Amino acid sequence: MTAPVKGPASYFPSIEKKYGRPVAYWTELIRSAPLTRHMELVTWLKTEHGLGHGHANALVAHTLAQR
């Protein structure tokens, strides 16, 4: 039996469905952004790319954790 996905990754299926782009697109966008701080990136995704707060937060948290 597979354990359920937890943490930021649990948002990924709904992010891909709602915004029509794979998570890899968003993580690369975050990595190439001129911003580095968590909340700056969240605000940027919300204002410039129309993401909701929870989705933006999950993507940023996941991406920054990979650094």
- The arithmetic mean of pLDDT across residues 7-16, rounded, is 94
Q: What is the pLDDT of residue 61?
A: 97
The answer to whether residues 58 and 50 touch, using CB atoms and an 8 Å cutoff, is no
Residues in the chain: 67
Q: Which of 65, 6, 56, 66 is nearest to 26 (CA)?
A: 56
Share of residues in the chain with pLDDT > 70 (%) = 99
pTM score over 0.85: yes
> Average per-residue pLDDT in the chain?
95
Where do runs of H (alpha helix) occur along the chain?
12-19, 23-32, 38-49, 53-65
